[in-house]
Structures are given as C-alpha cells and as structure tokens.
C-alpha cells in the first residue's frame, strides 16, 4: 500500500451528511410541535455528579440550576430560529442546527427527551 492510499483511507467521513442532519432536526422540531416529544430540562444531582466524574468540571447546585434555566429558554428559541420565525444570518442558522442536533443526541443520553421523533427516515 502506498503512502497516498494510507492517507486516503485514514480520512474519516461523518456518519451523517449536512442534509441529513438538517432533515433530522426538522423531524425533531415537527415532533415537538405535534406534542410527540417533551423535554425534561431539570438537572438532577446525579446528572451533575456524572458530569463531575466524566470531565472533572466542578458544578455547584446554583450553577446547575442556571445552566438548566438557560437551556430551558435556549432550545425553543433555537427551534424558532431554525424554523425561520426569528431572523438569523446563515452562520447563526447553521450554529442553531448544530445546537439542536447535539441536544437531540445528548438529550437521549441523559434521558431528558421523552417520546419519539424519528418514526421513519423519510
């Protein structure tokens, strides 16, 4: 195997294309509007403890509450920006898509999203 082939095979491609990520975020927003999913954005003590164990970042109760409050308002606001109801530029729109996609993944991992939002891929 030549050096060029090694370099090409080591290039990692994302699991989802940008188009697929936008599609998934759209499905997520539609499921939220239909009431098929709900969010539990309360940061529980056990969640804070896990965060401490995972990345070593100390979190006190007041900081955890502040973070939950910000997230409580940020997620619906971000959905409105993605839906075009709050004006954004292209860069902010792309950032909002990323925030919601990360929230979808992390929300499932922390069990803070209840319900189903991806019944089919279409």
pLDDT digits (tens, 9 = 90+) for 38-63: 987 665 555 555 555 455 666 666 67
- CA-wise closest residue to 102 among 62, 75, 122: 75
Label residues 37-51 b or e (16+ Cβ within 10 Å = b): bebebebeeebbeeb
Q: Name the E strands within the chain.
A: 37-39, 113-115
How do residues 89-111 score in pLDDT, each as one tens digit? 999 999 999 999 999 998 888 78
Mean pLDDT, rounded, for 79-96: 96
Sequence-distant (6+) residues with CB within 8 A of 100 are: 25, 28, 29, 75, 78, 79, 82
For residues 31 and 56, the answer to whether their CB atoms sit within 8 Å is no
pTM, entire model? 0.71
Query: Best-predicted range by mean pLDDT among 12-26, 35-49, 107-121?
Result: 12-26
Structure-token match 């939950």, residue found: 68
15-19, 63-67, 100-104: segment of lowest average pLDDT:
63-67
């Amino acid at each position: 195997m030549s050096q060029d082939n090694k370099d090409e095979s080591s290039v990692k491609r994302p699991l989802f294309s940008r188009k697929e990520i936008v599609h998934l975020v759209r499905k997520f927003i539609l499921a939220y509007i239909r009431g098929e999913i709900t969010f539990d954005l309360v940061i529980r003590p056990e969640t804070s403890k896990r965060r401490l164990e995972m990345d070593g970042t100390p979190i006190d109760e007041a900081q955890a509450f502040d973070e939950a409050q910000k997230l409580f308002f940020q997620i619906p606001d971000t959905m409105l920006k993605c839906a075009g109801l709050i004006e954004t530029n292209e860069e902010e729109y792309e950032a909002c898509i990323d925030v919601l996609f990360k929230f979808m993944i992390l929300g499932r991992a922390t069990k803070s999203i209840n319900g189903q939002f991806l019944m089919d891929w279409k």
